[in-house]
Amino acid sequence: MRTIGFLVTLVLVSFVSSGSACADTPYWRVSMEGLTVISNGSAQDSAFQPLTVYSLSNSDASQWFLTESDKKQQSAQNMRIYSKYLPGTDTNIAAIVDAGSDEPLQSVLFLYARSVLQTGPGRGFPAWYVIGVSDITNGLLIRDDGSILLSREASFRPVVDKTVRAKYDLASLLSATYKDLSGGGSWEEFSNRARAWAQYGLLTTPDRRTHYRELAILMRQGTPAADAVSQAFGSSLAEVAKDFEDERWRHDAVFRIPPPKTLPAVPPAQPLDQGQIKAALQVVADRAAQQPLSH
């Protein structure tokens, strides 16, 4: 039986402001492949498209990254757009503004994870699985040694109608569909619960990881939630719900993913000439004009 892992292949393209300490070589290309976020299982259902991340200075962002609509929105809402996820058929692009913090890169990795699961190996899986697994990447930190720190709380939350107050016990969470959510359910509450359920299933014990994935596969095949829980966990839905809701499992949750045994080879940084710089910025500008996902 195949299980679904989550593998991110990154190609990171960093644009450093000419006013920085790297002024002599302001534009660098660094590639890093093989970042494993959740890799228990083989993601054989679909090949992952790589992600290319462009980090722009404020001046380049104003010229190439932000549309006139973006600028008006920032002014009207007193907010700042510092990242955009720009998917494509051949490659996925993300652009971030160098804000001196982790949030821009964190946000595009989260958007990338959500998109990959919705359109790739997670396609057809229940909403709780797609939303929960991708939300585990919400706020993650990648350390220099290749290890990953997962955030206990979500850093980025959906913009929702605060008048909607839907609640999701485990039975409601497992049975909810995207149609249910768009028809009056609460995205914020659903995301919070799906994230907690994914932490319970994926970050505690090997047995729970196996049961969690088996549950997702059974429900993808059309098995009703209660029957799928009984088959996957060997316990009734009520028993699993009680174990989940008392939250003692949080003491066992591990939020640090160790680095891979062999780190991917990272080629030396190479400066780009002015022609390459302009071409790369034009790629960002062209994609940014196509109604991107942004934060």
**Which pLDDT tens digit goes with each residue over 115-155?**
877 777 667 899 999 999 888 888 888 787 778 888 888 77
**Rg (alpha carbons) of the chain, rounded to whole number:** 20
pTM, to two decimals: 0.76
Looking at every residue in the chain, the average pLDDT score rounds to: 76
Residue ranges per domain, the chain?
Answer: 6-294
Cα 139 off chain centre by: 9
Reference 129, options 44, 218, 2; nearest CA is 218
Task: Choose the weakest-confidence range: 167-181, 184-198, 233-247.
Answer: 184-198
Least confident of 217-226, 268-277, 282-291: 268-277
The residue to which tokens 């995205």 are assigned = 187
More confident site: 39 or 97 = 97
- CA torsion, ordered 154, 158, 164, 169, to nearest 10 deg: -40
Give the per-residue pLDDT at 103.
84
Of 156 and 174, more confident: 174
> Strand, coil or helix: what is 254?
coil
